[in-house]
Amino acid sequence: MARQFFVGGNFKMNGDIKKIKEIVQHLNEAKLDDNVEVVISPPTLYLLLAREHLRSGLEVAAQNVFDKPDGAFTGEISVKQLQDSGITWTILGHSERRVILQEQDIFVASKTKAALDGGLGVILCCGESLEEREQNKTIEVVTRQLKAVADKISDWSKVVIAYEPIWAIGTGKVATTEQAQEVHAAIREWLKKEVSSEAAEKTRILYGGSVTEKNSGELAKQPDIDGFLVGGASLKPAFVEIINSKSA
């Protein structure tokens, strides 16, 4: 059975009420490929705004979630609070949080388990730095990040993996189609070996890293690339073209 194409838009710390409403209205009015699962991830402050205005069939993701159900955790947001607000997904393990906020693999894994246990879908990010790529450590780094999660969970049915080479995020650089496909294939092989054949067959693996409407079409043709996690381009009208790149 073919894996459903998945496109996520990570707005990061961008946008205001006016901008979020404009993006949502554009998506609501656009002709989107019915076979593509679409999820947008605005800043926490605008999650409810996006959910209340976004049409049915399109989902909203938080950019983070904490691994405890409630309590004295200033500035954090819980799985229950997201669910209470109709938010069905969360992005976890993004390199910006791993690098800037020093989130460790084990913490990302703990948050992933909490999110899944609470019924959320997880867009689980992994990726290597330029130095690690130049040292031919890409697969080692990516599988280490994934293994931390595999040690905590057994059911991958609500996990979407996003491979995001750190050196290609927001830099305008993009992994070549061959580089991206190679890593995606290696991740799928790792899933088959370390999790199960079913997980390898069914788990969607997204590419993220300066994805635009100009390179999405070629990337979408690769056998192990099941969609995209889009950064800056998700704030632009061309996001619709990326969503529709599989059928273009």
pLDDT, position 224 = 97
- Total domain count for the chain? 1
Neighbours of 55 (CB within 10 A): 11
pLDDT, position 209 = 85
pLDDT, position 76 = 98
- Note the pTM of the prediction, 2 decimals: 0.97
Residue 164 annotated in active site: yes
Q: Is 74 part of any domain?
A: yes
Q: At what angle do helices 138-150 and 105-117 cross, to 10 degrees?
A: 40
Q: Token pair for residue 109?
A: 């894994």
Q: Is 131 part of any domain?
A: yes
Marked catalytic residue, from 59, 94, 103, 184: 94
Q: Is 97 part of any domain?
A: yes
pLDDT, position 93 = 98
Q: Is 248 part of any domain?
A: no
The two beta strands, 89-92 and 36-41, are unpaired
Q: Is 188 part of any domain?
A: yes
Residue 198 annotated in active site: no
The segments of the chain whose pLDDT lies below 50 read none
pLDDT, position 1 = 63
Tell me how far apart the alpha carbons of residues 207 and 15 are, in angstroms, rounded to a whole number.
Answer: 23
**Domain span at residue 63?**
5-243
Provide long-range contacts, Cβ within 8 A and 24+ apart, for 151-157.
151/109, 152/109, 152/110, 152/112, 152/113, 153/109, 153/112, 153/113, 153/116, 155/116, 156/191, 156/195, 156/199, 156/202, 156/203, 157/202
Q: Is 112 part of any domain?
A: yes
Q: Is 138 part of any domain?
A: yes
Marked catalytic residue, from 37, 59, 164, 213: 164
Q: Is 220 part of any domain?
A: yes
CATH number at residue 22: 3.20.20.70
